[in-house]
Structure 1
Amino acid sequence: MKKNMLKRILPVMMISLIAMTSFQQSAHGKTKLDINADAAILVEADTGKIVYSEHEDELLGIASMTKMMTEYLVLEAIEKGKIKWDQTYKVSDKVYQLANAPGLSNVPLRADEEYTVRELYDAMVIKSGNGAAIALSEVVAGSEGKFVKMMNAKAKELGFEHYQYVNSSGLSNYDMLGMYPEGTDVNAENMVSAEDMATLAYCLIHDFPEVLKTSSLTSKVFRPGTSEELVMKNTNGLLKGKSYYFKGADGLKTGTTPFAGSTFTGTAIRDGVRYISVILDAKDEYGQPSSRERFIQSKELLDYGFSEFETVEYNLDSVEKKKEHTLPVPNGKEKKIAIKVDKPLAIRVTKQDKDNVKTILNVADNKVSEDGSLKAPIEKGEKIGELVIDTPKNEEYIFDKKDSPLKIDVYAAESVEKANWLVRSARSIQAFFQNIF
């Protein structure tokens, strides 16, 4: 993680508690979770901090979780005005054949029929319709082959490190009845690491939070009141009313193919705190791919985040309880200045570590004199520094951040003018004799 640290720290302004919190990439509080999968990761959705991970950088099959990238590009195209929700699409021969192919997850689409982007999007997100995903790729890019290029370009733009997109739906190319996208190979598979899938989930939720309104639906009727009416049931087993219900779960996407096994990217929110989990190729006790285990293990990951950690707020009162916090200003008309923060610094820490966090007040270079003391004049409301959580180097995020999320700005609560030369000289003389005696 990249950090822009202030160059100078005032020793007299060091603010600390007992000890530094222990942040690790592996699980906190427990040595190991009971995860039996090729890869797994748990991430704080607000900060992108990795809470738990196993083999998170391995390039693995993702099956229909591929549709999350298709969702992103569709929502981005809508945001940019390139397509509209009520825009209609006339079913191509390719989409018709794949949308009605036996054995593939689909909402059947009729030949030469027209469907809105919204109808296709709902069919893709809720029912994991493969034909609908391919149709949307043609809406956005003109062909699935061109769309695949957009998918890989977007992955690079979002900072993915381990990825390969070969189609818009997540099907194995060899299952596409010979109609796999131009520029790809018949034996190619969609593959992304667990960490990069978590990055995609993070970007989806932050850039297009409306995605959760659809992914949280347990079911929806496709084309109600028509001869095509169909109840689309969500494949996410963590949603309310489902077999593996998890309180607060509202997304995101499942995936299953012989190559990828059983995969799942989940997310849940409780009391304003959200986590993202990814399970790739979940196994049962016999080492076989298991649809149910992807939900069971996702619940264990999410429950670990919610139960083992709690939100703790740190501010100036965390250091010393008093009505007013001040810092000395040796050259000021007043010899001290009150400081404040706009809001506390809220972080997720293990329960045993909540009282063991070290914080430091960093003061900007342009606010200190040659001897390292705070200097006047200072205007009320002026930023004078930052209150920072001093985290160890092994803290991991799903992407590099220019600034540490664990900091808050510190402001002057009042103005202090610079004392005149006579006052400053008198103070220097007084300090000299005090040091002698």
Structure 2
Amino acid sequence: MEGFFSVKKRNGYRIGAAFLSVMLLISLLTPSGMKVNAAFDVNASAAILIDADTGQILYEKNGEKLLGVASMSKMMTEYLLLEAVKEGKISFDDTYQVSDYVYTVSQDRSLSNVPLRANETYNMQELYEAMTIYSANAATIAIAEKIAGSEAEFVKKMNEKAKELGLEQYKFVNATGLNNKDLKGHHSKGGETDENMMSARDVATLAYRLMKDYPEVLETAGIPKKKFREGTEDEIAMENWNWMLPSLVFQYEGMTGLKTGTTDFAGYCFTGTAERNGQKLIAVVMDATNAKGEGTYNARFVEMKKLLDYGFGQFERQEIVAAGNQIKGNETLPIQKGKEKEVKIQTKSDITIWVQKGSNTKYKANLVFNSSDLDEKGKLTAPVEKGKVVGSVIVKDDQGTAVSFLKSAGQTQVETAEKIKKANWLTLSIRAIGGGIAGGWNWTVDKVTGWF
């Protein structure tokens, strides 16, 4: 959470920016900086790297450990705002009148803030930009109040949405990620020392869903610099805290977003998104440190670069089954009461995974049927429409280990490739009679054979 860095400190970091850039460049040009060690590790209490398209997990360290999340919490506030806009409940043109609570928090420049005037009105667009680019805390609380009436009610929505999105290790006590003690006595849940907490896997899941459901978030999160209320006496220069964006001190090729966070409790955290040559990655580092184990401001950028370089440099795409194809050994499903006795099934979309370059590991698609759609004999009941989803695919290696994905990402689905109508009563009657005759004949053969 950037709230714990004063303007003075920030200027100090700018003074040393050139030196840090040179040192970082030198480290990247050395042989050790160019090759990936077999025992790849990230200096952080927890970290995760996923493919942004499929949700496949490429690297994970302590992914389920519950840790302080700081301003990365604002990704949930962004999600709820963009959802409200999509549903027509709020418009970016809507205005908000500053409450006493928001005004008080906004005047604390030791926190990340754009100062807001008491009783002044601001539109949601400028508050959203202040939150997303500059991690402005008072602007975030203002958005929460606009959506839910109060931050306390908004926090309820945050936790409800977390459950809906499939998060498992999380706790939201405020909209910003600040420690409750910094909310000027207005904390809505827990004690003064309470903090928002999440696991790295849940942070990645939230980022994954945010980008899937509202990709437009990157249009704002990817802005390196912008002026708040430009052309007015309230004009403030906002520099994105994600210093890996183009033109900033740790600029990284392909960086697109998404959210940093720092508090004494959470340490130095960062959810980074980047794209190169059509490959999109989401990476999370929590409580990042340098090689000496010290938490430093630039450590999260160094470790993020290491993680993204690993993803872009060590993996290649491998197609397991193309969309519309059948999986060997599971080409059809039996049908009862249908004009046909079976139906063809196929993959609904491509089954593609990322594998480490040079790996000889073989992968195979394994089909898991939806038990709720089948009877006790494993049959579908006619009529069956074309495109009915009957199962999903799990990809496993030659040792039987499943390729890991975020739970909320879901698996590739398998669907029926044709429509099967229900057979008429005459056809069903003939089949029943035929089945009875066949059963009687089999009994006779077995009995007679037994005599000899």
Is TM-score (shorter-chain normalized) higher than 0.5?
A: yes
Tell me the secondary structure at the aligned position of residue 136 of structure 1. Answer: helix
- For normalisation by structure 2, the TM-score amounts to 0.72
- Contact 2:387–2:415 (CA under 8 A) maintained in structure 1: no
> Please, which runs of 5 or more residues in structure 1 have no aligned partner?
1-28, 321-325, 328-337, 371-380, 413-437
RMSD of aligned alpha carbons: 4.4
Q: State the aligned residue count.
A: 391
Residue of structure 1 equivalent to 2:41 = 34
Tell me the secondary structure at the aligned position of residue 33 of structure 1. Answer: coil
State the distance in 2 between where 1:182 and 1:344 align.
46
- Contact 2:369–2:391 (CA under 8 A) maintained in structure 1: yes
Residue of structure 1 equivalent to 2:436 = none
Counterpart mapping for 1:48-127 below 5 A: 48-127=55-134
Residue of structure 2 equivalent to 1:130 = 137
Residue of structure 1 equivalent to 2:171 = 164
Alpha carbons of structure 1 residues 342 and 83: separation in structure 2 relative to 1, 3 Å = closer
State the distance in 1 between where 2:56 and 2:102 align.
39
CA deviation after TM superposition for structure 1 residue 202, in Å = 0.9
- Contact 1:312–1:354 (CA under 8 A) maintained in structure 2: no
User: Is residue 159 of structure 2 the alignment partner of residue 180 of structure 1?
Assistant: no
- Contact 1:180–1:186 (CA under 8 A) maintained in structure 2: no
Residue of structure 2 equivalent to 1:14 = none
- Contact 1:88–1:114 (CA under 8 A) maintained in structure 2: yes
Q: Deviations over 1:251-277 (max 9, x none)?
A: 110011111111001111223321111
Q: Deviations over 1:319-345 (max 9, x none)?
A: 99xxxxx99xxxxxxxxxx99988754
CA deviation after TM superposition for structure 1 residue 180, in Å = 2.9
Tell me the secondary structure at the aligned position of residue 352 of structure 1. Answer: coil
Q: Out of 245, 249, 264, which is 2:255 matched to?
A: 249
Residue of structure 1 equivalent to 2:162 = 155
Quick one: which amino acid aligns to residue 262 of structure 1?
Y
CA deviation after TM superposition for structure 1 residue 362, in Å = 9.5
Tell me the secondary structure at the aligned position of residue 286 of structure 2. Answer: strand
User: Is residue 263 of structure 2 the alignment partner of residue 265 of structure 1?
Assistant: no
- Contact 1:357–1:389 (CA under 8 A) maintained in structure 2: no
Residue of structure 1 equivalent to 2:152 = 145
Residue of structure 1 equivalent to 2:313 = 307
User: Is residue 303 of structure 2 the alignment partner of residue 297 of structure 1?
Assistant: yes
Quick one: which amino acid aligns to residue 220 of structure 2?
T
Quick one: which amino acid aligns to residue 65 of structure 2?
E
Alpha carbons of structure 1 residues 74 and 386: separation in structure 2 relative to 1, 3 Å = closer
Residue of structure 2 equivalent to 1:395 = 403
Alpha carbons of structure 1 residues 354 and 384: separation in structure 2 relative to 1, 3 Å = farther
CA deviation after TM superposition for structure 1 residue 33, in Å = 2.1
Aligned residues: percent identity? 44
State the distance in 2 between where 1:339 and 1:167 align.
47
Once structures 1 and 2 are overlaid, which stretch shifts more, 153-162 or 57-66?
153-162
Quick one: which amino acid aligns to residue 109 of structure 1?
L
- Contact 1:363–1:384 (CA under 8 A) maintained in structure 2: no
Q: Out of 212, 217, 236, which is 1:211 matched to?
A: 217
State the distance in 1 between where 2:368 and 2:163 align.
35
> Please, which runs of 5 or more residues in structure 2 have no aligned partner?
1-35, 333-343, 378-385, 419-452
CA deviation after TM superposition for structure 1 residue 292, in Å = 0.9
CA deviation after TM superposition for structure 1 residue 211, in Å = 0.7
Quick one: which amino acid aligns to residue 211 of structure 1?
V
Q: Out of 277, 281, 291, which is 1:285 matched to?
A: 291
User: Is residue 50 of structure 2 the alignment partner of residue 43 of structure 1?
Assistant: yes
- For normalisation by structure 1, the TM-score amounts to 0.74
